[in-house]
Amino acid sequence: MEDRSIKEKNCKEIQALIPRYLSGTLTLHEARYFTKHLKRCRDCREEIEISYLLDKGLERVENGESVDLHADLEEMLNGTEEAITHLLQYRTAVYLIEFTAVFVLIACVLILYLF
Ligand SMILES: [Zn+2]
C-alpha cells in the first residue's frame, strides 16, 4: 500500500517531465531519474509512448517514414542513458583535472612559502 502511493507520486513527477524530455531540455539529474524510472515502469512507458507518438510519430508518418513506436522509444531511451554515462565520465575527468590543478597550485605555494 505504502509502496503503491510512493510509486504513484514518482509517476506523476515523471509524467510531468515527458514534454521536456521529448524537447531535450531536461537537466542531467532529471534525465537520469527519468530514464531509470521508465526502464521499469509500464504505466509511465505507456504515457510516454502516447506523447512520443503525438510529438514525433505523426511527423514521421507525414514524411512517409515507417514508425515502430516501441523500438524507436527503446532506442531513444538507450541513447539518453549512453549520453548520460558519457557526460558523467566527462565530468569526472574534469573534476580530476581541476583537483590536480588545485593540488599543484597548493604545492607550489607551499614550496615558495617554505623555501
Ligand atoms: Zn511510473
The confidence score (pLDDT) of residue 2 equals 54
CA of 101 from ligand 1 middle (Å) equals 43
Q: Nearest 5°: phi and psi at 4? A: -60, -45
Q: Among residues 81, 80, 53, 78, which one has the least CA distance to residue 67?
A: 53
The confidence score (pLDDT) of residue 7 equals 73
Cα–Cα separations (whole angstroms), residue 49 to 28, 42, 61: 22, 10, 15
Q: Among residues 10, 112, 26, 6, which one has the least CA distance to residue 77?
A: 26
Other CB atoms within 10 A of residue 64 CB = 6
Q: Specify the DSSP class assigned to residue 67.
A: -
CA of 46 from ligand 1 middle (Å) equals 9
Longest dimension (CA), the chain: 75
CA of 87 from ligand 1 middle (Å) equals 25
Q: What is the pLDDT along the chain (115 residues), one digit of tens a residue?
A: 456 676 777 999 999 999 999 999 999 999 999 999 998 899 999 999 999 888 877 777 788 887 788 888 888 899 999 999 999 999 999 999 999 999 999 999 999 998 8
